[in-house]
Every structure is written in C-alpha cells, then in structure tokens.
Chain A
Amino acid sequence: MEEDRYIDLLLKEADAEITDAEQLELADWLEASEANRTKADQIRKGWEVSAQAPNVISLDLDEQYKLVREKIRRTAPSKSKTIQVKAWQIAAGILLLVGFSWISYRILQSPPTKMLVYQGPSDHLKLPDGSTIWLKQNTQFQFTDSGTVRQGRLTGRAYFEIKRDASQPFEIITTLGKITVLGTSFEIDASNVNEVIVTVSEGKVKLSNDQQETIELNPGETGKITELEIEKAHYIQPAGSWRLPPRIFNQESLGTVLRDIEENTLSGLTPNNHRPTNAKLALPYRIPTLMNSSLYWRRCSMSKLPEKVLHNFT
C-alpha cells in the first residue's frame, strides 16, 4: 500500500498537482533507497510515454485515399442544385436591392418633418397640407407634418378649416387637452389658461384630455376642457365670428341688423323684448365692435345688448 501512495505522488508531481507537503514526503521516500529512485524513474518515464500517441494502426493509404475520393464524389453538391441555390441567391439579392431602393426613395420623397411657426394676428394662412387657419392677436400655432399625422400646438385663439385627409388626422395640442379632426371647421380658444373652448362649424371634432376622457362635438356644439374635466358647454358664441370682415350698417333698422348678425354669425338670435326692431341706426356702426366681445356673445340676448350698440338706434 505504501508503494501505491508513492506512485500516486510521483504521478501528481509529474502532472504538477503535488502539494508542498506531499513533495517533502516524496523527497524523503526517494532519499530512503536506490530502489525507490529506480522505481521513480520508471514511473516518470511511463508518465512521459503517456503523452505520446504511437501509431498503433497501420493503413493502406492508397485504399484510404480512394475511400476519401469516393466520399467526396458522393457528398459533392450537384451542379443543378448549385445553380438552383445561386438563382435563389440572385433573386433574393435583387429583392433586397429593390426593397432597399424603394425604402430609400420613400425616405427621400417624404416631406421633411420640420416645424412651422405662425404668429397671430393672421388671416387666411395656408398650411402645407392645404388647411387654412386664422390666428387672433397673441396667438401662436406650431405645425408639423410627419407624413402620418398632422400636428399643431396652439396657444391663444384660432379658427381652423382643416383639409380632409383620412390617412392623416389633424391633431391640435393645447395645454389642457388635444383636439383631433379629419376635415372640418372649428374654433379653438386656448387663450385662457384655465379652460379651452372648442366650437364646431362643420364636421366632427374629438376632444380629449390627459385623463383619457373624450367627447365628440357636432356642428354648432361647443366643448370645454379644463384641468378637472371635459364637457359640452352651452355657449352661443359663433365659431370664428371674429375673423369675419367688419360689417358696417348705416341707417338700417335694428331688425335688419339682427337678421344680418343671425345669418352671418349667430343662429337663434331673434328680437324678443321691448326694444323696437324698426328703429334705425342714427350713425354708421361697425359690427366688429360687438363681435369682439366674447363675453357679450356668451350671454347674448336682446335685452342685454350693450347700451353702446342700442343707443345708436333711434
């Protein structure tokens, strides 16, 4: 058993796996006798031999080469298959090239996404997509067209006539919410920081806020977005009445003036009180003075027509 131990130590030493303590133990054993040293030499020689790979198999190389040639012939890819594979490779290459070219063409042809900034007051501004906007004083409208969506950012008050494009909705972002349309006319009043008022003239408009609440407005309807909610409002303010040209009346009856206002700006306005509708204007009068007051239009009724207007009638 002792010999097994030292053979193991000798092999560990040869494989550089021996510890220092084992090395000392082995040195003592080697010192002990010449016989031990002779045995150790044999073991070390055996270890060296184990790294050699003697040729134990002799071969007929001609025969072996024939077998290799035969295997090469059997496993060679057939020419028709090679041609077929090459044809596929060429076809795939052409397809890739066409696809890449088409994508490149589309990228080059698509309009660059640049931002256009419009400052009010401005009338009849044409956007690149064909839509028209009117901006009031102190209003700014930033417009971008990414190719998939038309987007504007509004501060202030504006009237829009959006050119219909089903593939590219038009979105208008305000501080309190978003207005989405396809093609329609409407007004947005975002001049008040606490609320955004949207009044629709034609088509449908969708309002949404950060809380993902939405409402849809039809022609003649008004919606209001505040920080807390989004709802339909009951204003009778005409959409974009401020953008109409001034109307000048001279020696016209009150009835005529009101009918004109009703036809051109505001529906549902009918004389219903004590004021005589056949009174005549004493002096020329510019309607915009009346129109510009949104406060007035929100609570408009014949009985509350400003004295400033009425005193012109005799």
Chain B
Amino acid sequence: MNDLELWQQVQSGNEEAFQQLFYHHHTALVNRAYHFLRDEESAKDLAQDLFVKLWHQRLDLQIKDSVKAYLHRAIRNICINHLQKRKHVAMDDQPEREDYAPNAQQELQTIDLEKMVQVAISKMPEACRTIFLLRRMDELSLKEIAGELHISPKTVENQLTKARKILAQYLKPLLHLFWILLIPH
C-alpha cells in the first residue's frame, strides 16, 4: 500500500495505516527538524506533535499529491514557527556572531566532507541556518524564503552570504588536509 492509500485508510480511522505512515516518515522528519533546530529533544517532540495533529485532523486535511511532501512542508513550517516563538523576534538581521570560525580547525578531526558540512551548518547562527536550509534543502527562492519568514529579500541575501562564508571557513582547512593526503609520503 503506498502512502496515499495509507492516508485514505487513516482518514477512515485505520490506526494500523497510521502506524505504518509513522514508521515510514518519522525518522526523516525528526532529522529534518533537527537540522533546523539543532536540538534533538525538540526535534522529536515537534515531529511527534505533527503526527498527533495529523490524526486529530485527518477528516479535515486534504492530501492529494504526496504525503511525504506534505509532511516535510509541515515539519518545516512547524520548525520555523518554533524558532520564531523561541526567539520572540522575527528572523531579521541579527548581530554578527563570529564564534563559528575559530573552532573550525578543532572540528577537523576527520576528513569526512559530509560531516564537515554538517558541522558548518550547525555552527551557523539560527536565522542564518534556517535561511540556508530553506534555500538548499527546500530549494526556495530568495523571495519565497522572505515570504515564509516575513523578512525582506535583502535580509535573506545577506544571511545567505553569511552562510556561504561560514561554509567556506569549514571547507578551507579540509582542502589543505586533502592536499596533504595527496602528497606521496
């Protein structure tokens, strides 16, 4: 049974179908939330809450194209709301935080590119990271991000420049290490 068929079963009150949908998507949703929040417990809580809402509102929700797309959009919006509530401020230009760069060398315990990129992302300031993830993972345009976060496109552009700088800071030492490894001993 595919996701849409499972969803139809869920709408008619089938708990087993609901459990199957949960097993299909929960891990990905928690991880998606974690990338935004960098807080494992909050990520788990928000993903659970999404499924709770899904069950209670199953009769009112109309999911026609993709259950996966719906769930990922939903967790993204839940995370954005959560971040905005937590900060009590809009994700506008925030004071520059420079604490990401000096530790880059220390983080370089491995040459695993994927891990290094994740470290770089985790070191981005919250607003900067949120905008970067919306751009990279959701492939939203500057205008769409601005609309989602209720900020100006110029602010989005500034934050993306900042995100690229942080990423560069973490990729640069990796290049040197990579180059050293290429030198025959």
Counting residue pairs across A and B whose Cβ atoms lie within 8 Å, the total is 109
Is A68's CB under 8 angstroms from B22's CB? yes
**Cβ contact within 8 Å between A65 and B113:** no
Supposing A46-B117, A46-B167 touch, asked if A51 and B136 sit within 8 A by C-beta, the answer is: yes
Which residues of A in the span 7-27 have a Cβ within 8 Å of any Cβ on B? 7-8, 11-12, 15, 17
A50-B167, A59-B26 known; A75+B31 contact, CB < 8 A: no
A108 within 8 A of B: no
**CB within 8 Å of A: which of B158-185?**
160, 164-165, 167-168, 171-172, 174-175, 178-179, 182
CB distance from A71 to the nearest CB of B (A): 5
How far, in whole Å, are A42 and B118 apart by their CA atoms in the complex? Answer: 15
Contact B168–A4 (Cβ < 8 Å):
yes
Interface residues of A in 58-113 (CB under 8 A from B): 58-59, 61, 64-65, 67-68, 71-72, 75-76
Q: B78: shortest Cβ distance to chain A, in Å?
A: 14
Within 8 A of B (CB), among A246-294: none
| Residue ID in chain B nearest A5 by CB atoms | B168
On whether the beta carbons of A55 and B19 are closer than 8 Å, the reply is no
**A26 CB to closest chain B CB, in angstroms?**
14
Interchain CB contact under 8 A, A64 and B26? yes
Complex interface: chain A residues within 8 A of B30 (CB): 57, 59, 64
Q: Give the CA-CA distance A229 to B19 in the complex, in Å.
A: 88
Kindly state whether residue B127 has any CB partner on chain A within 8 Å.
Answer: no
Interface pick from B1-9, B42-50, B61-69: B42-50
In the docked arrangement, what's the CA distance between A267 and B167, Å?
110
**Cβ distance A226 to chain B, nearest Cβ, rounded Å:** 66
Q: Which of B51-59, B85-93, B102-110, B146-154 contacts A (4 or more CB under 8 A)?
A: B51-59
Verify if B82 is at the interface (C-beta below 8 Å from A): no
Instruction: Say whether B27 contacts A55, CB under 8 Å.
Output: yes
User: In the complex, how many angstroms separate the beta carbon of B158 from the nearest chain A beta carbon?
Assistant: 12
A39 to B120 Cα, complex, angstroms: 18
Tell me, rounded to whole Å, the shortest Cβ–Cβ distance linking A103 to chain B.
Answer: 32
Q: 1/0 contact trace for B133-153 toward A, CB 8 Å?
A: 101110000000000000000
Set of chain A residues within 8 Å of B164, measured between Cβ atoms: 8, 11-12, 15
With A55-B31, A64-B44 known as contacts, the answer to whether A39 contacts B49 (CB < 8 A) is: no
Q: Contacts A7-B168, A15-B164, A49-B114: A57 and B34 contacting too (C-beta < 8 A)?
A: yes
Q: Which of B88-130 contact A (CB under 8 A)?
A: 113-114, 116-118, 120-121
Check A8–B48 contact: CB distance below 8 A.
no
Mark out the residues of chain B between 71 and 87 whose CB falls within 8 Å of any chain A CB in the assembled complex.
none
Closest beta carbon of chain B to A245's beta carbon, Å: 80
- Cross-chain contact B178 with A71 (CB below 8 angstroms): no
Known: A49-B117, A68-B22. 13 other contacts (CB 8 A): A7-B168, A11-B167, A15-B160, A38-B178, A39-B179, A45-B113, A47-B167, A50-B121, A51-B137, A54-B31, A64-B22, A65-B19, A72-B55
- Which residues of A are in contact with B by a Cβ distance under 8 Å? 3-4, 7-8, 11-12, 15, 17, 35, 38-39, 42-43, 45-47, 49-59, 61, 64-65, 67-68, 71-72, 75-76
Residue numbers of B with Cβ under 8 A of A are 19, 22-23, 26-28, 30-32, 34-35, 40, 43-44, 48-49, 51-52, 55-56, 113-114, 116-118, 120-121, 132-133, 135-137, 160, 164-165, 167-168, 171-172, 174-175, 178-179, 182
11 A-B pairs (CB sep. < 8 Å): A12-B164, A15-B135, A38-B182, A39-B179, A49-B114, A53-B31, A53-B35, A57-B34, A57-B43, A61-B27, A65-B26
Q: Top 10 A-B pairs ranked by shortest CB distance? A: A7-B168, A51-B136, A11-B164, A49-B117, A71-B52, A55-B31, A46-B171, A50-B117, A68-B51, A39-B175
